[in-house]
Amino acid sequence: MKEIKWVKNTMPKTDDKNLSVMALEEVEKARNFHKTIPGYAPTPLAHLENMAKFLGLKDVCVKDESYRFGLNAFKVLGGSYSMAKYIAKQTNRAIEELDFATLTSDKLRKEFGQATFFTATDGNHGRGVAWAANKLGQKAVVFMPKGTTQNRLNHILAENATATIEELNYDDCVRLADAESKKVPNGIMVQDTAWEGYEEIPSWIMEGYGSMAMEATEQLNDMGIKRPTHVFVQAGVGSLAGGVAGYFINKYPENPPIIVVVEADTAACLYKGAVAGDGAEYNVDGDMPTIMAGLACGEPNTTSWDILKNHVDTFVAAPDWVTAESMRVLAAPIKGDPQVTSGESGAVPFGVLFETMTNPDYADLKAALKLDENSQVLLFSTEGDTDPERYKEIVWDGKDYK
């Protein structure tokens, strides 16, 4: 059976210039925008009090993104906000002037004109971009990597987007989308990763993700939890992880939580960089077979990587069985705790926590993370059953990935 791998962060620090991307005032702007979208409500924070006792922890709280705008995943937060910021910039407005009603008005649409938003996706990001473009009366073109399920493609097509599954991996789909966006008038790349020369829109996407972290902080406070001692967050390219880490470092600069980043082991580019320890970016090439489709990304977001190497405590690479086990545990929690319907990419942080606290093989990881009866742990379940058939296969049928 494949093991969980982990490494403490020993990379050299930088001048931390990208931490300001997640400044609290910028996250507040994103949150205020999201509040104007019809149907907005904070997603639940599942307080697993009985699970915490079972694991020997003080608190375990899971942010449940399966309720986000009826889209079953958090990604729309970044796509919608980055598109709003782009339109604000193109029309010489501050984002504070553009609530969702103004953004979708005929008047603004005539002023802004017709654009085509291009992106690559394993599913959730592309669905969020397609949904936002559809609401805005704009076009969306989405490229999806090989291995993408028909169900994920259908969700995007249902938002009036052009979408195709390519014989390429995720990172090559990103390059294809970028190239195609340059071939059409008013083609705009809306991608949740950054590279040299393409940093602005990915930074807006990260700020959009910050809404989720800000909600979680408020909900923790309502529960009487002043701050989490530990934050577990998953990573593909690292945009979410960098956004979450950046928010909490800015929120608690004097006493930040211990931040743990979890990746799918077949696509663990951040873990690979942490193992190398020199601070450089490292890629994972070729096929990246994993049930965690949203994490099957092999090239780091450069903006996020800078935040992560300055502030993450530990990087973890997890095999598929860890998230499959976690999906089952969250779906059938200890009596009295709320159920969390968590998809393959959503469940893996809790899976790592569960194994760390219950499996003697990971006692050294438990000690390294200083997890004990005083720990108050926050985790993010970033998607629900976005692929219902696979979810049932894992949770109902107990498909074994060991």
Query: Could you read off the pLDDT tens digit of each residue along the chain, which spans 402 residues?
Result: 899 999 999 999 999 999 999 999 999 999 999 999 999 999 999 999 999 999 999 999 999 999 999 888 898 899 899 989 999 999 999 999 899 999 889 898 889 988 999 999 887 888 888 988 988 888 999 999 988 888 889 989 999 999 999 999 888 999 999 999 999 999 999 988 888 899 999 999 999 999 999 999 999 999 999 999 999 999 999 999 999 999 999 999 999 999 999 999 999 999 999 999 999 999 998 888 999 988 998 889 999 999 999 999 999 999 999 999 999 999 999 999 999 999 999 999 999 999 999 999 999 999 999 999 999 999 999 999 999 999 999 999 999 887
On whether both 310 and 365 belong to a single domain, the answer is yes
- In tens, the pLDDT along 300-341 reads 999 999 999 999 999 999 999 999 999 999 999 999 999 999
Look at residues 208, 176, 201 and name the one whose alpha carbon lies nearest to residue 301. 201
Calpha distance 217→220 (Å, rounded): 5
Domain boundary residue, one of 143, 166, 197: 197
Cβ neighbourhood burial of 277 (10 Å; 0-12, 13-18, 19+): middle
d(CA 64, CA 74): 9
Considering the domain architecture, whether residues 27 and 143 belong to the same structural domain is answered as no
User: Which residue range is the domain that position 163 belongs to?
Assistant: 76-197
State the total domains in the chain.
2
Radius of gyration, CA atoms only, the chain: 20
Domain identity same for 310 and 376: yes
CA dist 120 and 144 (Å) reads 6
Q: Are residues 66 and 207 in the same domain?
A: yes
> Which is it for the CA torsion 216, 51, 318, 176, positive or negative?
negative
Is residue 401 one of the residues assigned to a domain? no
Residues 256 and 331 in one domain: yes
Q: Partners of 234 in the beta sheet?
A: 262
Give the residue among 269, 83, 30 at the shortest CA–CA distance from 191: 83
Q: How far apart are CA 268 and CA 256, in angstroms?
A: 25
Active site residues: 75, 122
**Closest by CA position to 31, among listed 127, 90, 99, 93:** 99
